[in-house]
Amino acid sequence: MYKKIDFRVRPPYGYYLNMIKNEQAHFARLADAFDMTVSQSQRTGSLEQFVREMDEAGIEISVVPCRKELGEDGDEFFQLTKRYPGRFVVFPYIDPTDGEEALEKIDRYREEWDIRGVSAEPTFQPKPYKFDDPVAYPMYEKLQRDGIPLLVSYSAKLLPIVDPDTVRQLGTVLHDFPDLKIIVGHGGWPWHLEVMAMGFNSPNIYVVPDMYGLTGAGSQDYVKAANTLMKHQMLFGTAYPILNVVDTARFYETCGIKESVLPDFFYNNAVKLLRL
C-alpha cells in the first residue's frame, strides 16, 4: 500500500458534519454514479470511523479546505489538529471581498496555527467574484509574497452558469502572479486540458482530479497527465464525503498511473507543496 496525503477532505466535524447528515441521499446518488459504496463514516457522521477509514486507505494526512458558504472561517477546524495530531492540515477560508480584514486574517492564522495554505471558492461563496477580479489581487499578492499556496475549487459544478471564460480568468491570475502556487480542486473539469496546459507552462499550478478522475468523460486525461507532463503537479484527493476514501484510494492505485509515479501522486508532491 502507498502512503498518501488526501488533498481535499471535508470531514464529519463542525459545519461539515451537518452537511453530511443533511445530504445522505445526495451522497448515495454520487456513490452509485462513480461505482462506489457509501462508507460507514458517511452514513453515521462518525469522525472516529473516518480516521479509521483513513488508516485503511493508507492516508496519513487529510487536507481540510474550509468553506464560507457553510461557515465564516476555519477556526473550529483547527481543533482537529489537536485532537488528531499530525493527521489534518487545515486551509482556512479567505474572502478577498472582506478587504484589509482578509489580509489581517491570513496573518492571524499564520501566527496562531502555522497554516500551510488557504482556501477560496470565488464562484461558490455567498458574494461571488471572478478569479481575476481586482478585489482579489491584494490577497494574491500577499499569498505570493509570503509563499502560501491557494486552493481553489473549480469545476462546472461550482458555477451557477457554465462559463468557459473562468479558465481564462484563472490563466490571467497565473500570468499576473507567476510565483503564486495555485491548487485546482475538482480538477478544473471540464476545462482540465486548459488547466493542464497552464501546468505545462508553469510549475506552480497543481491539480487534484478527485471525483473527475474516476469514470467520467475525460477521466483518462488525468491519468495521462500524471504519467507525463504533470507528474510533479498532480495531487491525490477524494473530495470526501463525495467519495469513499477507501474506494477512491484503491481506484487510483490501479487506474493506470505508473508505479514509478504513484509515490509522487499520492504523497511526495503534497509533501513538497505543504513544506512538511
Q: Give the model confidence (pLDDT) of 69-107 as tens digits.
A: 766 567 889 999 999 999 999 999 999 999 999 999 999
Q: 178: how many CB neighbours lie within 10 A of its CB? A: 12
Separation CA 75–CA 255 (nearest Å): 37
pLDDT the model gives residue 76: 87
Region for residue 258 given its phi and psi (left: phi exceeds 0; alpha: psi -120 to 50; beta: otherwise):
beta
Angstrom distance (rounded) from CA 16 to CA 76: 11
Cis, bond preceding 241 (omega within 30 deg of 0): yes
CA–CA gap between residue 43 and residue 62 (Å, rounded) = 19
Task: Encode pLDDT of 34-75 as tens digits.
Answer: 888 899 999 999 999 999 999 999 999 999 999 887 665 678
Task: Tell me what pLDDT residue 229 has.
Answer: 93
Joined grid coordinates for residue 263: 509515490
Domains of the chain and CATH, by start: 4-274 (3.20.20.140)
How many residues are given for the chain? Answer: 276
Contacts (Cβ under 8 Å, ≥6 apart) of 123: 154, 158, 159, 160, 166
CB count in 10 Å sphere of residue 155: 20
pLDDT value at residue 80? 93
User: Any idea which residue has 482556512 for its cell?
Assistant: 92
- The pLDDT, as a whole number, for residue 71 is 62
pLDDT for res 32 = 86
User: What pLDDT is stored for residue 51 in this prediction?
Assistant: 98
pLDDT of residue 73: 64
Alpha-carbon distance 166 to 120, whole Å? 15
Q: Which grid coordinates are listed for 135?
A: 478585489
45 Ramachandran zone, left/alpha/beta (phi>0; psi -120 to 50):
left
Whether the ω angle into residue 149 lies within 30 degrees of 0, i.e. cis, is: no
What pLDDT is attached to residue 237? 97
- Residue 152: what pLDDT? 95
Residue ranges of the chain with per-residue pLDDT less than 50: none
CB atoms within 10 A of CB 269: 23
Backbone φ and ψ of 259, nearest 5°:
-60, -35
Determine the residue type at 5.
Answer: I
pTM assigned to the model: 0.94
In this predicted structure, what is the pLDDT of residue 36? 86
